[in-house]
Amino acid sequence: MTRKLKIGITCYPTLGGSGVVATELGKLLAERGHEIHFITHSVPFRLGKFHKNVFFHEVEVNDYYVFRYPPYDLSLASKMAQVAQMQQLDILHVHYAIPHAVCAYLAKQMLNNGLKTVTTLHGTDITVLAQDESLKDLIRLAIHQSDAVTAVSNDLIQETRQLLDITTPIELTYNFVDKRVYYPRDVSQLRQDYAKPDEKILMHISNFRPVKRVSDVVDIFDRVQQSLSAKLLLVGEGPELTKIQCKVKSLGLEDKVLFLGKQEDVAQVISLADVLLLPSEKESFGLVALEAMACGVPTIGSTAGGIPELVTHGETGYLAPIGDVEAMSQYAIDLLKDEGRYQSFVDACVDRARRVFCNDRITHEYEAIYYKVLGLE
Ligand code: GMT
């Protein structure tokens, strides 16, 4: 029997797809008998109820009065070392190079006991931070000093190599969804609260950062609703929310665009949609498009980053160059008006999510990486 491992996981616990993936991975590994220790500043938001084999270690920041900026990263590195020693961890799996992989490197140096580190790159650490000359060398160090590095798309691997001149291997490990949570659901009752029977529902879910181009979402919807009866549901909150609310008002779309704010039960909400819109400027993967795909909802979006590796153009959605709202709206109109084609897209979505991005498959891939770095293959 393969040895069960003790794994420390550090991620951003309060936001984004990276936190979701890290937490879900921890829960799945715990189900497979591994012992999982989350080392973060707060309980990961997707952790939910009690799970056997899952432990949480809170990083407390020292706010000594001489510190102008309390040094979270140093507290994290110390906590990592402390937990690794006390719990005899085999592996620290960190999500994001900055600061988590750097902290893991420090912890490893402090212990000097053979602790192994695995770093997963999610995007912003490379696509945004690696553009900053002052951080480049630090990110490169964190990557080179990890015992294994994974990235969530081929596009991200390529960009990391180009920007940082990385010489060590980066393994592709796509994001995943749990098929027990994300599957096509009958939400016909709930749907009545949002749209009339003849209305189509378009949806966008994000943190409303400028890279998400939520303004394009509204432009696409504006064109679509001129051709067919439709509603737009906007889910999430973030820096551009007010700007988007003003835009919706100025286009006279207030009755057709509903702002749902942040939502916990993404699988339920996403199932309300006929189409998901994801016209991002940058997107190393686009977890929300996978969540939609698994629920049988096609995505119409941009060709940014890793989106084309996830969404198969002409089969599980349609993609157009960044900013081409004309093409994206035409794709949405054509798809939503053609029932036969729409149903074939729904089927292809569910099939692809199950085949390529299934939780069992990706959990095995991460396990194989852990065993490899520990020499336990
Ligand atoms: O997209 C964000 O603003 C959040 C960010 C995060 O930290 O979760 O998302 C990144 O990681 C996700 C999980 O791997 C990917 O699905 C997103 O595509 C990626 N975001 C970007 O590359 C902009």
Backbone angles phi, psi at 202, to 5 degrees: -105, 145
> 71: cis peptide before it, omega within 30°?
no
Backbone angles phi, psi at 112, to 5 degrees: 50, 45
Contact 53, 84 (CB under 8 A): no
Contact 104, 131 (CB under 8 A): no
In a domain, 183, yes or no: no
Same-domain status, 138 and 253: no
Write b or e for each residue in 115-146: b if 16 or more Cβ atoms lie within 10 A of its Cβ, otherwise e.
bbbbbbbbbbbbbebbeeeebeebbbebbebb
Domain ranges, residue 39: 6-176+358-373
Which pLDDT does position 51 carry in this prediction?
87
Which pLDDT does position 119 carry in this prediction?
97
Token duo for residue 158: 């390529």
Residue 348 and residue 317: Cα distance in Å, rounded? 9
In a domain, 182, yes or no: no
Same-domain status, 159 and 246: no
Same-domain status, 308 and 237: yes
Ligand 1 centre to CA of 17 (Å) is: 5
Ligand 1 centre to CA of 192 (Å) is: 32
Residue 277 and residue 328: Cα distance in Å, rounded? 9
- Choosing from 119, 177, 283 the residue with most ligand 1 atoms within 8 A of its CB, the one to mutate for a pocket test is 283
Ligand 1 centre to CA of 64 (Å) is: 33
In a domain, 181, yes or no: no
Ligand 1 pocket by Cβ (under 6 Å): 16-18, 21, 122-124, 127, 152, 175, 207, 209, 211, 282-287, 305
User: Can you tell me the mean pLDDT for 110-135?
Assistant: 87
**pLDDT tens track for 232-276:** 999 999 999 999 999 999 999 999 999 999 998 999 999 999 999
Same-domain status, 201 and 343: yes
Residue 268 and residue 280: Cα distance in Å, rounded? 23
**pLDDT tens track for 12-56:** 988 789 999 999 999 999 999 999 999 999 998 888 888 899 999
**CA 152 to ligand 1: nearest atom:** 14
Which pLDDT does position 180 carry in this prediction?
95
Q: CA 199 from chain center: how many Å?
A: 30
Residue the block writes with tokens 């707060």: 42
Q: CA 145 from chain center: how many Å?
A: 24
**pLDDT tens track for 157-198:** 999 998 888 989 999 999 999 999 999 999 999 999 999 999
Does the pTM surpass 0.90? The reply is yes
Residue the block writes with tokens 């919706």: 248
What CATH number has the domain bearing residue 199? 3.40.50.2000
In a domain, 143, yes or no: yes
